């Protein structure tokens, strides 16, 4: 199977099973914007909850916050995004197609029309603008934030005062970000509206390199903990010429997507760039008082910036498998049970003899602790296949033996192995499996 075929098949599975749809589908869609359906939103929420648990609530040195998307435009002037946040763009003079100049070979012909007639490259600012309030003049321009990080930097003093934080400490948030990308594509990989999970870790300036190393390794390990294939993950240091305008050093966590090794998350040494800029532009003091040395210092920042949608894409691509079972093709998403939208599907073998009622009762007992789903439609084989495509790790079937001995069949998705268990053991069985 070619790499582009895998992506096509995944996009079609996501639509077929209710993971992800093109935005505004019934009107022909809106390029590079996606909607999450019933299964997709569960997967996405699981990713965000695991990140929040591992980065915020399971630690004592990181707090969370949730800043507004709209911010005073002066934030983006101070942060350098108004003057620096751009990509080089070229047009094909023949067919008018637009490309990121650093994403194509300008020595070659246009990939759309096959003619080689390029304009000079020029810089294109990636921030999306709108007007805030009832007037539409230059004073009402606001930007849709291109990163969530600035909401953290401008709240640095608020967070330090209210949480009485001591260096090193971090502030984390999850939220939407927007970029007017010149070229989009590869499904969720590069879209114009996406979600970030960002954590800014404030440290003493002479401790930056050790924390950069710490967070790079910790973040790489996090993807492994979600079950992503280890040999398809790596850390890659940035070359000087690819560093963002605010970064002194950066490591990318990369995944080997069907379209090649690409960035999943960036871990950057932002130094004191952002706090210095905001202190200078706002006239406010953005320092931390070291009571041991009696000094006010401007902390340096190590940032871990992950994409929710890219993580979802990675998990889906990594989990997608096609297998032959008894001469038939089986498509299965081998999702880690921690992220799977449904943990257990419960099936009555037939829709009579009290089997649906027993299945419903099992769901009632499980649903507070596990994502449980009832499916009574079609042959049992078809129901298994549907749940294989949804990535559901366990299936429970109620059959005629259940009526007499209160046992059910539990089927494990990947091995397809089946075992017989008493209904009252199911909860502890699944709890053990998910540990």
Residue 242 or 369: the one with the smaller Cβ distance to ligand GAP is 242
CB 337 within 8 A of CB 393: yes
Residue 263 or 399: the one with the smaller Cβ distance to ligand GAP is 263
User: Pick from 312, 189, 323, 321: which is nearest to 259 by CA?
Assistant: 189
Q: Which one among 87, 254, 274, 309 touches ligand GAP, defined by CB under 6 A? A: 309
What string marks each residue from 251 to 270 as x (binds ligand GAP by CB under 6 A) or -?
A: ------------xxxx----
Q: Which one among 194, 222, 347, 370 touches ligand GAP, defined by CB under 6 A? A: 194
Residue 90 or 312: the one with the smaller Cβ distance to ligand GAP is 312
Residue 265 or 389: the one with the smaller Cβ distance to ligand GAP is 265
Integer CA distances (angstroms), 357 to 87, 269, 370, 401, 411, in order = 59, 58, 19, 15, 20
DSSP state of 108: S
Least separation in angstroms between residue 303's CB and ligand GAP is 6
Least separation in angstroms between residue 46's CB and ligand GAP is 17
CB 425 within 8 A of CB 407: no
Question: Total number of residues binding ligand GAP (CB under 6 A)?
Answer: 19
Least separation in angstroms between residue 60's CB and ligand GAP is 24
Residue 14 or 355: the one with the smaller Cβ distance to ligand GAP is 14
Residue 303 or 389: the one with the smaller Cβ distance to ligand GAP is 303
Least separation in angstroms between residue 190's CB and ligand GAP is 4
CB 304 within 8 A of CB 59: no
196 binds ligand GAP (CB under 6 A): yes
What string marks each residue from 127 to 166 as x (binds ligand GAP by CB under 6 A) or -?
A: --------------------x-x-----------------
Distance between CA atoms of residues 320 and 1, nearest Å: 12
Q: What is the DSSP string of 13-46?
A: HHHHHTSEEETTGGGT--TT-EEE-HHHHHHHHH
Q: At what angle do helices 308-319 and 38-52 cross, to 10 degrees?
A: 110
Least separation in angstroms between residue 270's CB and ligand GAP is 8
Q: What is the DSSP string of 234-263?
A: EEEEPPGGG--TT-SEEEEEEEEETTEEEE
Q: Which stretch binds ligand GAP (CB under 6 A): 90-98, 194-202, 235-243, 290-298?
A: 194-202
Residue 222 or 430: the one with the smaller Cβ distance to ligand GAP is 222
User: Pick from 395, 424, 422: which is nearest to 337 by CA?
Assistant: 395
Distance between CA atoms of residues 36 and 20, nearest Å: 4
Cα of first residue to Cα of last residue in the chain, in angstroms, is 35
What string marks each residue from 49 to 78 as x (binds ligand GAP by CB under 6 A) or -?
A: ------------------------------
Burial of 24 (0-12, 13-18, 19+ CB in 10 A): exposed
Q: Nearest 5°: CA angle at 419, between 415 and 424?
A: 130
Q: Which one among 79, 125, 186, 191 touches ligand GAP, defined by CB under 6 A? A: 191
Counting other chains too, the contacts that 377-380 makes at CB distance below 8 Å and 24 or more residues apart are 380/347, 380/349
Least separation in angstroms between residue 194's CB and ligand GAP is 4
CB 104 within 8 A of CB 92: no
* Chain residue whose CB lies nearest ligand GAP: 307
Cis amide bond preceding 330, omega within 30: no
Q: Which stretch binds ligand GAP (CB under 6 A): 56-64, 193-201, 346-354, 422-430?
A: 193-201
266 to 305, contacts with ligand GAP by CB under 6 A? 266, 303, 305
User: Pick from 389, 317, 407: which is nearest to 18 by CA?
Assistant: 389
Least separation in angstroms between residue 244's CB and ligand GAP is 6
Q: Which one among 44, 190, 385, 413 touches ligand GAP, defined by CB under 6 A? A: 190
Residue 171 or 332: the one with the smaller Cβ distance to ligand GAP is 171
175 binds ligand GAP (CB under 6 A): no
310 to 369, contacts with ligand GAP by CB under 6 A? 310
Residue 70 or 289: the one with the smaller Cβ distance to ligand GAP is 70
CB 143 within 8 A of CB 128: yes
22 binds ligand GAP (CB under 6 A): no
Q: Which one among 198, 254, 269, 389 touches ligand GAP, defined by CB under 6 A? A: 198
Which residues are near ligand GAP by CB under 6 A?
A: 147, 149, 179, 181, 190-191, 194, 196, 198, 263-266, 303, 305-307, 309-310
């Amino acid at each position: 199977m070619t790499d582009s075929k895998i992506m096509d098949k995944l996009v079609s599975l996501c639509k077929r099973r209710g993971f992800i749809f093109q935005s505004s589908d019934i009107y022909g869609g809106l390029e590079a914007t996606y909607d999450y359906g019933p299964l997709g939103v569960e997967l996405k929420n699981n990713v965000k909850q695991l990140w929040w648990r591992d980065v915020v609530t399971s630690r004592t040195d990181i707090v969370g916050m949730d800043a507004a998307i709209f911010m005073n435009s002066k934030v983006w002037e101070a942060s350098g995004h108004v003057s620096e946040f751009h990509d080089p763009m070229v047009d094909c003079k023949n067919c008018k197609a637009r490309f990121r100049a650093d994403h194509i070979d300008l020595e070659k012909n246009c990939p759309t029309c096959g003619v080689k007639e390029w304009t000079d490259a020029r810089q294109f600012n990636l921030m999306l603008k709108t007007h805030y309030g009832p007037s539409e003049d230059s004073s009402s321009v606001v930007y849709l934030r291109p990163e969530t990080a600035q909401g953290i930097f401008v709240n640095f003093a608020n967070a330090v005062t209210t949480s009485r934080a001591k260096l090193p400490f971090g502030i984390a948030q999850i939220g939407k970000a927007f970029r007017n990308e010149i070229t989009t594509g590869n499904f969720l990989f590069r879209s114009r509206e996406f979600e970030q999970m960002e954590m800014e870790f404030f440290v003493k300036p002479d401790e930056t390199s050790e924390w950069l190393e710490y967070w790079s390794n910790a973040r790489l390990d996090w993807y492994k903990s979600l079950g992503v294939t280890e040999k398809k993950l790596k850390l890659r240091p940035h070359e000087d010429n690819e560093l963002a305008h605010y970064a002194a050093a950066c490591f990318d966590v990369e995944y080997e997507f069907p379209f090649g090794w690409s960035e999943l998350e960036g871990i950057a040494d932002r130094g004191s760039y952002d706090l210095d800029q905001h202190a200078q532009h706002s006239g406010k003091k953005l320092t931390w008082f070291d009571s041991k040395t009696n000094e006010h210092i401007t902390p340096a920042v190590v940032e871990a910036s992950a994409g929710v949608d890219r993580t979802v894409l990675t998990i889906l691509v990594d989990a997608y498998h096609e297998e032959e079972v008894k001469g038939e093709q089986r498509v299965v998403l081998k999702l880690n049970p921690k992220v799977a939208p449904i943990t257990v599907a419960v099936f009555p073998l037939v829709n009579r003899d009290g089997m649906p009622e027993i299945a419903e009762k099992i769901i009632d007992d499980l649903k507070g602790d596990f994502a449980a789903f009832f499916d009574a439609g079609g042959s049992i084989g078809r129901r298994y296949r549907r749940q294989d495509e949804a990535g559901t790790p366990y299936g429970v079937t109620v059959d005629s033996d259940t009526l007499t001995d209160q046992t059910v069949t539990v089927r494990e998705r990947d091995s397809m192995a089946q075992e017989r268990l008493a209904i009252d053991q199911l909860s502890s069985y699944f709890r053990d499996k998910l540990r």
